[in-house]
Structure 1
Amino acid sequence: MTEPLNTNFTPIDQATWSRREYFYYFTKMMPTGFALTVNMDVTKLLAWTRAHQVKFNAAYLYLVSHCLTDHPEMRVGRFDDQLVTFDVVHPSYTVLHDDHSMSNLWTAYTPEFTTFNQWYLADLAQYGHITGPMPKAPQSPNLFTIGSLPWVEFTSYTPLPFTPLNTFFPVFQAGKFTVHGLQTTMPLSITIHHAVADGYHVSKLFNDLQAAFNQPATLLEK
């Protein structure tokens, strides 16, 4: 199964782009990215997934993807060497096998969670048992990386590329749940290229994510 894939985008006119000087500075003069980790309250989201017998990871992937649709700076990429803003970005995530090896899958984002969840479960069924780095080959230029390390509680996580960055999408990593009385928290890190986003943009995104985690029914029950 290959679900429908939205790859629509709007070209960025760098002559009039408000971020033009910052983009040049953070890609040419001082190439820089940064990372931030926040303890997210997932109490209500976890309760919702258990009550509806939905995999937490499906809800997590969907809600992050959904929030990114409201943040164009997080959807800046390249298409045929043209700098563009994609309409949506699709989650590219890892699955773990019995031998502790991992594989990379992706599921197309769609606004309806019920449909997204069906596609996610279908992808797991078709590709989740196949070993190798990418059993479902990436077929889209607008995939963003999102994962989880459910075995460890961390205070920071930063991917370290060994080649110059050529992508501007955020990278997410979630950690182990921690229970504090009636509250459950989960560390969530983002790593982002400074060419497209500042701390202000990342802060707004995390605030939107927390609001979505606090009211999961608003987005997931449709």
Structure 2
Amino acid sequence: MPFTEIDRATWPRLPYYYYFTKMQPMSFTISLKLDITNTYRKKGDRHFFPLYLYAATKALPQELRMADNDGQLGYYNQLTPSYSVIHDDHSISSCWTTFDPELAVFYAQVQADMQQARHAHGPVGKPDAPANSFACGMLPWLAFDSYTPQPVDGLPSLFPVLQAGRYTQVEGRWLMPVSLTVNHAVADGYHASAYLNALQALLADPTWLE
């Protein structure tokens, strides 16, 4: 996947990157409910989860595609969604799917990858996740109000962590809780809000489903 290196000497955000990685390392989480009504109604017989993965990945701005590759700071042209597959015994296995701008291609690949991971019990259902993988999961059993991943050893990577929950119908609209965790070194509240608004716009006007 193409990676564009940033010239630190001319990068306006460099002082903030230094501040939030060296002086006051920090990440933050925003939780809210997205209106998925139009996408849900237009999905037909397709499963919603691959559509959520597609929209969530497609909407990612440059700020949330940043990475530090062995000291080389830059951004990927596209990230790869990484998610969990659950087995009959309620254990999980990690899985990932390379993003494709063609929804039909991406949807079919998600289905194939999930099927493969279901036959591989253990933490890793599909090995060799690429360096541009970001966590993009869903808890379909719980319509949570907040969800915050807690790294055990230091901050998470520069990539975001996105977690959706069980969507419910409220006054005729389908609402889905979503939690976004962002490394403050690469993005502020404005960038996180812009991403969530862009994701909401895709779900509200799902012409990409056609």
TM class by shorter chain equals over 0.9
Q: How far did residue 166 of structure 1 move?
A: 5.3
2:68 pairs with 1:78: yes
Q: State the one-letter code of the partner of 1:130.
A: A
* Distance in 1, Cα, partners of 2:172 & 2:87: 32
Q: 1:219 — aligned with what?
A: 208
Q: State the one-letter code of the partner of 2:20.
A: F
Matches for 1:37-186 after TM superposition, within 5 Å: 37-49=31-43, 51=44, 53-68=45-60, 71-165=61-155, 167-186=157-176
Q: How far did residue 203 of structure 1 move?
A: 0.8
Q: How far did residue 137 of structure 1 move?
A: 1.2
> Retained in 2: the 8 A contact 1:12–1:83?
yes
Relative distance call for 1:166 and 1:148 in structure 2 (3 A) is closer
* Distance in 1, Cα, partners of 2:33 & 2:25: 28
Query: Aligned-pair RMSD on alpha carbons?
Result: 1.1
2:30 pairs with 1:27: no
> Retained in 1: the 8 A contact 2:116–2:125?
no
Provide the identity percentage. 44
Q: How far did residue 154 of structure 1 move?
A: 1.3
Q: 1:3 — aligned with what?
A: none
SS in 1 for 2:149: coil
The gaps in structure 2 that reach 5 residues or longer are none
> Retained in 2: the 8 A contact 1:67–1:205?
yes
> Retained in 2: the 8 A contact 1:37–1:188?
yes
Q: How far did residue 167 of structure 1 move?
A: 1.2
Cα deviation, 1:39-63, whole Å, max 9, x if unaligned, reads 10011111122x2x11100000000
The gaps in structure 1 that reach 5 residues or longer are 1-6
Q: How far did residue 81 of structure 1 move?
A: 3.0
* Distance in 2, Cα, partners of 1:115 & 1:127: 18
* Distance in 1, Cα, partners of 2:47 & 2:128: 23
Q: State the one-letter code of the partner of 1:209.
A: L
